[in-house]
Amino acid sequence: MRTIPDELCKRYIAEGWWSLETIGDLLAERIAAAPGTEFRVHSQVRPWSGTFGDVEHVARRLAAGLRERGVGPGDVVAFQLPNWMEAAATFWAASFLGAAVVPIVHFYGRKELEHILATAQPKVFITAERFGRMAYEPDVSAGVPIVGVVGGVVGRDFDDLLADEPMSGTLAADPGAPALIAFTSGTTSAPKGVVHSHQTLGCEARQLVQRNSADDAKNLTATPVGHFIGMVGAFFIPVMQGLPVHLADIWDPGMALALMKSDGLTVGGGPPYFVTSLLDHPDCTPEHLAHVKQFGLGGSVVPTAVTRRIADLGIIVFRAYGSTEHPSITASLNSAPEDKRLLTDGCALPGVEVRLAEDGEIISRGPDLCLGYLDDALTSRAFDSDGWYHTGDIGVFDEDGYLTVTDRKSDLIIRGGENISAMEVEEVLLGMPTVAEAIVVAAPDERFGERVAAVLRVRPDASMPSLEQVRTHFEGAGVARQKWPELLVEVAEYPRTASGKVQKNIIRDNIAQTSRRE
């Protein structure tokens, strides 16, 4: 784990960002305050309806059953489940036991799952017999002592882990100890294990609750709970606020629109893809939009064209910036001036410090910053001895202290010795009426070293623009010629992380392989 300077630890405790409560303590206290709050799963294969109290009863029976099997503080409990009730029960049970939970995205395949289980070394693994392309493979988890399968696998049924009598209370645990290990895909070849403590995760929850304090809408959560922010957003933040939980185990814009009308639900935040797929759906009407009062965008780079499009519909838009390592770095309040909400990623959140390195890299630290990675080499590269996290993102501050993320270090295209911002080119492409999403990466070039490659997803019933049409558009926008795309590729969908972020490293590799074959 990284070194956290003593003065920072003392400050975070003195200022109230860190407490002596564990995640289990916080959950138990808030569930007890509103046990009758609605909890529903909207699913074609495993629908469920009940209350916080009903889910807690299952979680406490699971906690009791796991405790009988020797699970307690310091142990690791992993789960790979869709957005089902059993996922909430597993997270809550692990928290009551003082164990660290490892959420695993349900569409991760065998390779990723083997890596995560081998790296995290869980004592418990809860999964599903089958969901979509996912299927339980006993040999993958053969080294895990306790396995429970939702769906009725003989001898390993999830229900067999439930004790007859629920566990009361919570087990004492060190609030500075690991409470969460979140695996995130990025520039590395295998998912990285990011470790959060009860204190850093509790601080993140309070940050989110404070930002959402005025939002009492019934939100539909379709972000996979196997991703840490999906899990926190589905099973922790609503509990802290006493708000209903509504889950969808797949992202289906048509279903989301139907639930807006039938159940009065809304979709209040997420990566840009979530809101654009709603707006582009043929069933979307002004009646649906009336349910969406505000939308918080984050989880990936947020194009200005998207924020403008949403704001023009009368929806209050605000942006936020963070990562699995440091979840809440900057954000705009929904009451901030419109230009700040639409055009920047906000200012530093309470308790958080942000500065820029000489090369423009964003460096941050704060009470919700993780403890580090399971891989010590990754930890030493990303964190320094003063407690700062080197994000790998490039940004600028305006005169009012609002940050705008302008690029990833890895997203700069160097053409003939000149740096080209991929984000700048993407923004121009999004100004074309037929383009729904645009991803720009570097393609190898024998003459200039690199050239601009644009991978486009076009709007429904629209045609892919030609290279000549793109050049005409860029010329009309007054963009320097060296920034014009020289390679166009059309895709129906992008490879994405569980949070909806486009995996540019995969696209970059595919473009490089294509260029080598040409």
Cβ atoms of 352 and 366 within 8 Å: the answer is yes
Residue 198 has pLDDT above 80, yes or no: yes
Cβ atoms of 315 and 295 within 8 Å: the answer is yes
DSSP state string for 374-397: SSHHHHHHHB-TTS-EEEEEEEEE
> What type of residue is 281?
H
For 380-401, how does the pLDDT look when each residue is reduced to its tens digit (9 = 90+)?
A: 999 999 999 999 888 999 999 9
Helices and strands (H and E) in the chain: how many: 17, 27
Cα–Cα distance measured from residue 20 to residue 37, given in angstroms and rounded to the nearest whole number: 27
83 and 148 inside one domain: yes
Residue 438 has pLDDT above 50, yes or no: yes
Cβ atoms of 50 and 58 within 8 Å: the answer is no
Could you tell me which of 485, 393, 495 has the C-alpha nearest to residue 430?
Answer: 485
Interval 240-257 mean pLDDT: 94
* Structural domain span for residue 187: 23-34+52-211
396 and 299 inside one domain: yes
- The pairs formed by 369-372 with CB atoms below 8 angstroms and a separation of 24 or more are 369/200, 369/325, 369/326, 370/194, 370/195, 370/196, 370/200, 370/324, 370/325, 370/326, 371/1, 371/2, 371/4, 371/178, 371/195, 371/196, 371/197, 371/200, 372/1, 372/2, 372/194, 372/195
**Looking at per-residue confidence, does 38 or 314 come out higher?**
38
Residue 476 lies in a domain: yes
Enter the tokens of residue 141.
Answer: 């988890």
Residue the block writes with tokens 């009062």: 293
Residue 3 has pLDDT above 60, yes or no: yes
Q: Provide the pLDDT for residue 117.
A: 97
Residue 277 lies in a domain: no
Interval 95-111 mean pLDDT: 93
Interval 166-194 mean pLDDT: 87
502 and 405 inside one domain: no
Backbone torsions φ then ψ of 435, nearest 5 degrees? -90, 120
**Looking at per-residue confidence, does 319 or 372 come out higher?**
372
Helix or strand holding residue 348 (H, E): strand 347-348
Enter the tokens of residue 482.
Answer: 């060296």
76 and 198 inside one domain: yes
Residue 330 has pLDDT above 70, yes or no: yes
Q: Provide the pLDDT for residue 187.
A: 47
**What is the CATH classification number for the domain harbouring 511?**
3.30.300.30
Residue 13 lies in a domain: no
447 and 401 inside one domain: no
Q: Provide the pLDDT for residue 215.
A: 63
For 114-123, how does the pLDDT look when each residue is reduced to its tens digit (9 = 90+)?
A: 999 999 999 9
480 and 341 inside one domain: no
Q: In the chain, what's the furthest Cα-to-Cα distance?
A: 71
**Looking at per-residue confidence, does 317 or 99 come out higher?**
99
Most confident of 88-92, 316-320, 359-363: 88-92
Number of other CB atoms surrounding residue 322 within 10 Å: 24
Enter the tokens of residue 22.
Answer: 């564990």
Interval 475-486 mean pLDDT: 88
Residue 66 has pLDDT above 90, yes or no: yes
> What type of residue is 319?
R
DSSP state string for 309-323: HHHTTT-EEEEEE--
Helix or strand holding residue 13 (H, E): helix 6-14
75 and 182 inside one domain: yes
Sign of the CA dihedral 310, 347, 361, 498?
negative
Residue 509 has pLDDT above 50, yes or no: yes
Cβ atoms of 346 and 320 within 8 Å: the answer is yes
Cα–Cα distance measured from residue 425 to residue 513, given in angstroms and rounded to the nearest whole number: 22
Domain boundary among 187, 211, 235: 211
Edge-to-edge strands of the sheet including 294-297?
269-270, 294-297, 316-321, 330-331, 347-348
Enter the tokens of residue 19.
Answer: 């407490």
| CB within 8 Å of 118: residues ≥ 6 apart | 143
351 and 450 inside one domain: no
Residue 246 lies in a domain: no
Q: Provide the pLDDT for residue 217.
A: 74
Domain boundary among 165, 196, 211: 211
Residue 187 lies in a domain: yes
DSSP state string for 126-161: EEESEETTEE--TTTTTT-SEEEEETT-TT-BGGGG
Cα–Cα distance measured from residue 29 to residue 201, given in angstroms and rounded to the nearest whole number: 16
Cα–Cα distance measured from residue 34 to residue 386, given in angstroms and rounded to the nearest whole number: 41
| Strand 146-150, strand 124-128: pairing | parallel
Cα–Cα distance measured from residue 503 to residue 362, given in angstroms and rounded to the nearest whole number: 20
506 and 453 inside one domain: yes
Residue 517 has pLDDT above 80, yes or no: no
77 and 185 inside one domain: yes
pLDDT > 70 in the chain, percent: 96
- Going by the DSSP 8-state scheme, the letter that residue 411 receives in this structure is G
For 20-43, how does the pLDDT look when each residue is reduced to its tens digit (9 = 90+)?
A: 999 999 999 999 999 999 999 999
Could you tell me which of 4, 442, 499 has the C-alpha nearest to residue 300?
Answer: 499
Residue 441 lies in a domain: yes
**Looking at per-residue confidence, does 189 or 477 come out higher?**
477
Residue 291 has pLDDT above 90, yes or no: no
Most confident of 229-233, 364-368, 417-421, 459-463: 364-368
Residue 166 lies in a domain: yes
Q: Provide the pLDDT for residue 516.
A: 62
**What is the CATH classification number for the domain harbouring 110?**
3.40.50.12780
Cα–Cα distance measured from residue 354 to residue 402, given in angstroms and rounded to the nearest whole number: 11
pLDDT > 90 in the chain, percent: 67
Domain count, the chain: 3
185 and 203 inside one domain: yes
Cα–Cα distance measured from residue 72 to residue 185, given in angstroms and rounded to the nearest whole number: 29
Residue 7 lies in a domain: no
Could you tell me which of 242, 322, 309 has the C-alpha nearest to residue 278?
Answer: 309
Average pLDDT, the chain: 91
Residue 412 has pLDDT above 80, yes or no: no
Q: Provide the pLDDT for residue 146.
A: 97
29 and 144 inside one domain: yes
Cα–Cα distance measured from residue 369 to residue 349, given in angstroms and rounded to the nearest whole number: 12
Domain boundary among 211, 239, 268: 211
